Amino acid sequence: MKAITVQGDAGIEGLVYGEVPTPEPGEGEVRVHLLASGINHIDVYQCTPAMVRHDKPHTMGADGAGVVDKAGPGVSLKPDDEVVVDPNLSDPTKPGYGIVGAHCAGTHAEFIVLPEKNLFPKPANLSFEEAAALPLALCTAYRQLISRARLAAGESVLIHGVGGGVMLYCLQLAAQAGAFTIVTSSSEEKLKAAKSFGADACINYKTGDVAQAVMEATDGRGADVVVDNVGAPTFALSAKCVALNGRITIVGGAAHHVIPEVNLRDLYFKQVDIHTSTMATPEEFHAAMALAAEGKVKAHIDSTYPLSRFREAIGRVAQGEQFGKVVITRD
């Protein structure tokens, strides 16, 4: 089968599109013929030499959608059933957690074998491309904003760097929750697009004073919840923008994982809670996907590329050029 594999230390340019053995399902496992897969920042990390923690060659990819091709013994799914991959190999709140594409072979291939529990029925209202754009980013946003930060109706939320999948799903979830939503970007085009997804206030951080604009938008209170998935460039700003008794919620660190000097007084004098998070529990994944099935959260596809042009696709995500999700189709 065709797949994208990490084979050396050359980063994105070293990714290889070629033949790898087609996997066979075992007891309780299912082989899926993948028709689409979604790109996430974890894919960028997976081909970054300093961060690679798996044997090579390795097939990347956490998100995917397709049809059941072959079922192993003890499986209830049948050939041609349409499914979406749950990228959570286990519960992230418990030891031994793993992610599809990081701790096992991933979805940027023609086929994948996974335990049946990692396959969710594809909602009938979604195309395979839309379904592949949802899982990792949506369940991450759901856990981060709804479960961890406990965003409530009537609260305000600041979302740094709207444009990527997690942030765009955070925006939709916040709007669904009845919150006042504030987003930032350096792109006027992305800010304009964000309004169509429920943004109440948009701030260009290149041309405006974010902290001042947040205070003006919240009548001087600051944001009840700050979603900071950028990392080092924005955390000190998040501390300034968060309200008294507010919460800052962090996933990943798209720009840098090491946070520089922060004035702790901006945090402890305001009684700020800081929440970290990653991925989702099985219950959270199902709740998030149910919102997509009901049409309450929508996948926005920035662009699609065939599997053979994977390096172009991942380069778009690595440069932060996308608004929404970049999806890989099959040649």
Indicate the pTM of the whole model.
Answer: 0.93
Whether residue 89 is contained in a domain is answered as yes
Q: Which residue has the higher pLDDT, 133 or 234?
A: 133
Mean pLDDT for the stretch of residues 144-152: 96
| CATH code (residue 128) | 3.90.180.10
* pLDDT value of position 231: 75
Q: Which of 35, 111, 36 is nearest to 70 (CA)?
A: 111
pLDDT tens for each residue of 40-92: 988 988 877 666 666 778 899 999 999 999 999 999 999 999 999 999 999 99
What is the tally of structural domains in the chain? Answer: 2
* pLDDT value of position 7: 84
Whether residue 61 is contained in a domain is answered as yes
Domain holding 228, by residue range, is 138-276
pLDDT tens for each residue of 78-133: 999 999 999 999 999 999 999 999 889 999 999 999 999 999 999 999 999 999 99
In this structure, the answer to whether residues 170 and 46 fall within a common structural domain is: no
In this structure, the answer to whether residues 63 and 27 fall within a common structural domain is: yes
What are the DSSP calls for 26-59, one per residue?
-TTEEEEEEEEEE--HHHHHHTSGGG--S-SSEE
In this structure, the answer to whether residues 187 and 126 fall within a common structural domain is: no
In this structure, the answer to whether residues 71 and 187 fall within a common structural domain is: no
Residue type at position 174: A
* pLDDT value of position 263: 81
